[in-house]
């Protein structure tokens, strides 16, 4: 039997589901199979009750230097339409658990788009971000023009997208793309610390907060407020709400069950 190569490594540790992109020889260039594997791993972690938070990271010199150019070179419009791979990619948006991206080295093109699918980003000080698609005669297609523009505004996004230039981790921090910058050797440790802090929070609150924040990005304020309020009320039927408040009154650490 012809077993498909694995382009990612997954692990679960202390409530954290780790996905490591693993094609370091080609700077973790994202091929079709890798997209499928990332999405499948995310969805499995989303269903796994032992996983509270997902961490996505690269290996070697890159988070990911974009989609695999060797694979894209010969593609035509009809093949792309039939492959319909953006549909797979979009499934990342439906993952309900928080996703933290840890970016070292290059996060370019599709690699940057993947990073922008994360809920939070930590970056090593050597990280470089950019959308080189324009120089290849194409454009971002996995959310780059949309997510970057919503995040940093039209004029800033235009500069990144139309020039194809690479931007430093410090610039990404200044634009609000990443949460914090870390020395490269501390990136992994600090990412795990952040993931652990979040993993100890009640899972239903995490889930409904993430959902509400995403609504804030996608919907007008009044609709977002409506969604927030519903989620707020919903949490009052959880055991973890009772536990959280009782533990406060009893001056003890809460024990959350995720129900
Ligand atoms: N694809 C394939 N191979 C890549 C690659 C890529 N994106 N990026 C790097 N490599 C390979 C290089 O070819 C080289 O392989 P060998 O020559 O050793 O065999 C190896 O990785 C090391 O790269 P370099 O020798 O170039 O390393 P340098 O340090 O000199 O340069 C670099 C690093 C990151 C500046 C350079 O490698 C570079 O410019 N890479 C390409 C960046 C890029 O243009 N990326 C693609 C953008 S287009 C889709 C979803 C998303 C997308 C498309 C479809 N669907 C869901 C359908 C997204 C499209 C894109 O990302």
What's the pLDDT score for residue 132? 98
d(CA 152, CA 161): 12
Choosing from 38, 66, 166 the residue with most ligand 1 atoms within 8 A of its CB, the one to mutate for a pocket test is 66
Adjacent-strand bridge partners of 123: 103, 181
The one-digit pLDDT tens for each residue of the chain (259 residues) are: 446 789 999 999 999 999 999 999 999 999 999 999 999 999 999 999 999 999 999 999 999 999 999 999 999 999 988 888 888 899 999 999 999 999 999 999 999 999 999 999 999 999 999 999 999 999 999 999 999 999 999 999 999 999 999 999 999 999 999 999 999 999 999 999 999 999 999 999 999 999 999 999 999 999 999 999 999 999 999 999 999 999 999 999 999 999 9
Listed in order, the ranges of the chain carrying CATH 1.10.12.10 are 203-249
Q: 3-class SS at 166?
A: strand
Which of 163, 172, 156 has the alpha carbon at shortest distance from 139?
A: 163
Q: How many CB atoms lie within 10 A of CB 128?
A: 22
108-125 pLDDT, tens digit each: 999 999 999 999 999 999
Of 13, 43, 113, 239, catalytic: 113
Establish whether 113 is a catalytic residue: yes
Q: How many CB atoms lie within 10 A of CB 133?
A: 22
Listed in order, the ranges of the chain carrying CATH 3.90.226.10 are 3-199
Which of 147, 85, 159 has the alpha carbon at shortest distance from 119?
A: 147
CATH architecture for the domain at 3-199? Alpha-Beta Complex (3.90)
Which of 109, 149, 158, 152 has the alpha carbon at shortest distance from 131?
A: 109
The pairing of beta strand 166-168 with beta strand 128-130: antiparallel
CATH superfamily placement of domain 203-249 = Lyase 2-enoyl-coa Hydratase, Chain  A, domain 2 (1.10.12.10)
């Amino acid at each position: 039997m012809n077993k498909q190569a694995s382009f990612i490594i997954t692990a679960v540790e202390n409530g954290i589901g780790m996905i490591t992109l693993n094609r370091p020889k080609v700077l973790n260039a994202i091929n079709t199979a890798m997209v499928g594997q990332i999405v499948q791993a995310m969805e499995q972690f989303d269903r796994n009750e032992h996983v509270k938070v997902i961490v996505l990271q690269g290996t070697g010199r890159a988070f990911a230097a974009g989609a695999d150019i060797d694979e894209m070179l010969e593609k035509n419009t009809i093949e792309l339409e039939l492959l319909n791979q953006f549909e797979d990619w979009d499934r990342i948006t439906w993952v309900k658990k928080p996703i933290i991206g840890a970016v070292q080295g290059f996060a370019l093109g599709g690699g940057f788009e993947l990073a922008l699918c994360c809920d939070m980003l930590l970056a090593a000080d050597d990280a470089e971000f950019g959308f080189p698609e324009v120089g290849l005669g194409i454009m971002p297609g996995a959310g780059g023009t949309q997510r970057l523009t919503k995040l940093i505004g039209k004029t800033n996004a235009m500069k990144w997208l139309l020039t194809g230039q690479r931007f430093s981790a410090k610039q990404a921090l200044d634009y609000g793309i990443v949460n914090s910058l870390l020395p490269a050797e501390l990136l992994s440790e600090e990412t795990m610390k952040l993931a652990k802090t979040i993993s100890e929070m009640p899972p239903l609150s995490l889930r409904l907060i993430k959902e509400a924040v995403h609504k804030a990005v996608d919907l007008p304020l009044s609709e977002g407020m409506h969604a927030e309020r519903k989620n707020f009320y919903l949490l009052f039927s959880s055991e973890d709400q009772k536990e959280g408040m009782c533990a406060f009154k009893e001056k003890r650490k809460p024990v959350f069950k995720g129900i």
